Amino acid sequence: MPTPQEFILGEFPRTVDDRHRISIPQELVSLLLPEALLREDSGCILAKERPGCLSLWNASVWQTRTDQAVDLVKGKMRAGKLEGRLDDVQRLARLLSTRHRIVQLTDRSRLLIPEGFREFLQSEANAEVMVVGAGVCLEIWHPRAWIGYVEGHMSEFRELFDRLSN
């Protein structure tokens, strides 16, 4: 599980092979899954973040965050604080149901991108993607989406950096 000193950073171009697998850089895997060095296969959570972007999480970190959030929603439902918001609760449950999947990294740090996630990533076999460290997880971006994201947010970098580091 990433600790504050294990901030996951880096930007790596990769190619999706003809079997829809990508090689995750070992230096990122060792930060995301320190236990992966001890086992042949390591479980992760692959999540749909935004069109053209998937995220890869340490399974225990993901599960803890998800369990805490779902418990909070269930508590609000029991307390009647979500009266009249059934549509929102159903939308949240639908999106949570389709948003993530347990995946395995092989001993060579390869990830098979499952059907449904390939379309969301908007990536084809033998196409380029970007693997990016996102602090607490890894992200896999379609190059056009990544460039658009960076162009849309780079001007905010200094203010964000100063706000979070002070």
Q: What is the distance between the alpha carbons of residues 76 and 159, in angstroms, rounded to a whole number? A: 35
Residue 2 counted as domain residue: no
Helix/strand/coil for 52: coil
* pLDDT given at position 108: 84
In whole angstroms, give the CA distance from residue 22 to residue 15.
6
What's the pLDDT score for residue 144?
97
- Report the domain count for the chain: 1
CB 132 within 8 A of CB 139: yes
Contact 142, 53 (CB under 8 A): yes
Q: Which domain holds residue 21?
A: 11-165
Domain membership flag for residue 130? yes
Tell whether 91 is covered by a domain: yes
pLDDT at residue 4 in the model? 41
CA 104 to chain centre: 14
61 inside domain: yes
Residue 5 belongs to some domain of the structure: no
Q: What is the pLDDT of residues 3-25, one digit of tens each?
A: 445 789 999 999 999 999 999 99
pLDDT digits (tens, 9 = 90+) for 84-112: 999 999 999 999 888 999 999 987 899 99
**Does residue 3 form part of some domain?**
no
CATH number at residue 155: 3.40.1550.20
Which residue bears the tokens 């908007």? 122
Domain-located, residue 92:
yes
